[in-house]
Structure 1
Amino acid sequence: MTVQITPTVEWINQCYDHDGKHEHVSLYLVRAPKGTVLVDSGSFYHREQITEAVDEATDGASPDALVLSHSDYPHSGNVSSLGADTDDVELVASSGAPAQQGLPDARKCDIGSSLEIMGQKFSFIDPPLADRSHTTWIYEHGDGVLFTADGFGNYHDPGQCDYLSGDFPEMTPAEKIFEYHRDNLVWLRYAAPEKIARTLDDIFAEYDVTAVAPVHGNPIEGDDLDTYRDRLHDAMIRIKEEYVVA
């Protein structure tokens, strides 16, 4: 019930079906040196399936830690069902004030800093593509995977739910990248694509990214990162041009 992304990172996904167009709601399991770490918890809408998948992946044990990119429901909907409201599972959240968002026992991560979680170093990045404040992108320093919310997503067709980027005939389709960002990051019509591109350049220069693991898209393998980024940039330009604000 998981898809291997790198030697220590596995993908658990469920999908929303928008009249035949699928959108992922994903979480990722990191096999850290001292335990298992979940990145995000998925949507409460898929609670039964996600809980079952995590249970199978951890051989019936709870994860040892849960790290949230942010606290809205597609990301934090299963905190309780995965045991992160107990002393058995360490909860880490990026919110500026976790208690005010219903996470009073969460360990706070500061965006721009790093933490050691279950023996693995994780860095928390201020994301240039997000839909909420106090969102963070998360970089794990073991295999070099960058977990992104909510950018770097895409829609996909039925039957492509478990695809990695390289499983598509010509990589993640440009139109699906465009449609996802148009619908979910509507502020892009107000933004300057070249400024976002420069920020992304800085992130990829600072961190040795071997794969991108989006919450709302198919994971992007290292060999496909340049192509995906080109298609993302083209999508941002198209959004800016096609949705002119009067």
Structure 2
Amino acid sequence: MASIETPIMQPLRAIAGDWKLLPSFMPVPGMGALAVNSLVLNCSEPLLVDTGLAALRDDWLERLGEVVDPVDLKWIWISHADADHVGNLAALLEVAPSAKVLTSFLGMGKLAMAGIRPERMQIVEPGGLLEIGGRRLLPIRPPYYDAPETLGLFDPGDGLLFTADCYGALLPGPVERAEDAGVQALREGMVQWSAVDSPWLGQVDRDGLGATLKAFGALAPQCVVSSHLPPVAGGLETLSPIIFNAWCRNGGGPADTFHVEAVADVLHAAA
């Protein structure tokens, strides 16, 4: 795995059934590289999941065009409103006149404040059911996340589970498959990313998180795609135990040095 200094776009890849992956990586100085994935469901009502990095706009739009002409795009699923997920949304909506944005209630509010017109959006929430192109997609809230509007999705037909930031990892460099990173690098990268992206995991009820991870596994996906990790074939048997062992055992994961009690101790010591 070679390190990178600028964002890079990788070739388009088929991953599960009618799903295609638009993979990219961005450098995280001092920490490695982070995958930034978009997905396309190539069906009678083409659906895009997240819109990639603005820094890669031309390359990203070119990759998208290899799957679907933006004019034919019907749906754009926005998992949450972070810049690495909505980087090309405004530009895409200009060339995709028929596309409607799917996001949660809070996501709609954030996108509206960013200038996306409400009539271009439709609210979806966990527990609902979305019928698109002759198949059913289930909006789902991942076990952990960095933004409260986050929505993953599960496609039972093709067995694909999209988990947004959940199960992401900081890796030494770009790879095509998660397993190509190696067991140790994957484990360390997932723990490091979860600590950075979801620092509240250090304060969460460990039994509750463990139960959520177990329930998530009951979906029995055949392909797992995080926004920030290359695809993992099979179920969650590799990924969920890493998070469980990091945050649900032995008092939880890495200490949050910015926790309010830690700050108070520093101030007290300096007094």
Normalised by the shorter chain, which TM-score bucket? 0.7 to 0.9
Cα distance in 1 for residues equivalent to 2:72 and 2:151 = 24
Structure in which a larger fraction of residues adopt helix: 2
Alignment of 1:58-207 (within 5 A): 58=68, 62-83=72-93, 86-96=96-106, 98-99=108-109, 101-102=111-112, 103=116, 104=118, 105-160=120-175, 163-170=176-183, 173-205=186-218, 207=219
Letter matched to residue 20 of structure 2 = E
Cα distance in 2 for residues equivalent to 1:26 and 1:158 = 15
Mind listing any 5+ residue stretches in structure 1 that lack a counterpart? none
Q: Identity rate of aligned residues, in percent?
A: 22
In structure 2, the residue matched to 1:240 is: 252
Provide, for residues 114-165 of structure 1, a one-character-per-residue CA deviation record: whole Å limited to 9, x for no partner.
11123221111122211111211111232111111211111122242xx223
1:99/1:19 CA distance change after superposition, 3 Å = closer
* Structure 1 residue 65 displacement after superposition: 1.7
Cα distance in 2 for residues equivalent to 1:55 and 1:200 = 36
1:232/1:119 CA distance change after superposition, 3 Å = same
Q: Is the 8 A contact 2:51 2:88 kept in 1?
A: yes
SS for the counterpart of 1:47 is helix
SS for the counterpart of 2:239 is helix
Provide, for residues 187-213 of structure 1, a one-character-per-residue CA deviation record: whole Å limited to 9, x for no partner.
1111133311211222332x3311111
Q: Is the 8 A contact 1:43 1:74 kept in 2?
A: yes
Q: Is the 8 A contact 1:153 1:180 kept in 2?
A: yes
1:98/1:35 CA distance change after superposition, 3 Å = same
Q: Is 1:219 aligned to 2:234, yes or no?
A: no
1:215/1:226 CA distance change after superposition, 3 Å = same
In structure 2, the residue matched to 1:228 is: 239
Q: Is 1:43 aligned to 2:53, yes or no?
A: yes
Indicate which of 62, 65, 80 corresponds to 1:55. 65
TM-score normalized with structure 1 length: 0.86
Higher alpha-carbon Rg: 2
Cα distance in 1 for residues equivalent to 2:70 and 2:231 = 26
Q: Is the 8 A contact 1:126 1:135 kept in 2?
A: yes
RMSD between aligned alpha carbons?
Answer: 2.5
1:183/1:107 CA distance change after superposition, 3 Å = same
